[in-house]
Amino acid sequence: MAKRRDLIRMTDEEVEAFLGGRHVMNIATHNHDGSIHLVAMWYGFTPDGRVGFETFAKSQKIQNLRRDPRITALVEDGEVYEQLRGVELVGTAEVTEDPGVLLPIARSVVERYLPETSPEDLDAVAEMMARNRAAVVLDVERKVTWDHNKLGGTY
């Protein structure tokens, strides 16, 4: 009999589809005193498909990542146990203010979370959003996934 963990693991295709949905990503970084700084963020993708987000360049998470690039990100959904799904991404983060990295991520965020933005305004909104911001691109070393829908309603 297959282990329960194996039964609920998502395939790479399922992970890609799930992360492509409109969710909130919880970001954990390490504060200077070793405690965890945990925040919820909208996220997007680089042109090559890596997960990233943009945030104020002077934010606590950016200060933390410049000092210690380790990061854990969690995207999850589901209201009841039988529907719980999630992806945990563990790795390191690349912080950059390079517009060539920042603007595509900001554009991705606008497309995903502000669907009322007209296509002709997309670049202008992304540029406005990117002011005084830094991009964070995740270098994922490990993924942990679960999809309780695969259990068919059993516990």
Residues 37 and 30: their CA atoms lie apart, in Å, by 6
92 within domain boundaries: yes
Residue 40's identity, in one-letter code, is A
pLDDT for the residue 5: 76
Residues 136 and 62 sit within 8 Å (Cβ to Cβ): yes
153 within domain boundaries: no
Domain of 122 in residue numbering reads as 4-148
154 within domain boundaries: no
Structure-block tokens of residue 3: 């282990």
pLDDT for the residue 2: 66
pLDDT averages per 10-residue partition of the chain, 155 residues: 78 96 97 97 96 96 98 96 95 97 95 92 90 96 94 73
61 within domain boundaries: yes
103 within domain boundaries: yes
Residues 125 and 128: their CA atoms lie apart, in Å, by 5
pLDDT for the residue 151: 85
pLDDT for the residue 1: 54
- In this prediction the pTM is 0.92
CATH of residue 129: 2.30.110.10
pLDDT for the residue 129: 87
155 within domain boundaries: no
| Count of the separate structural domains present in the chain | 1
Residues 68 and 80 sit within 8 Å (Cβ to Cβ): no
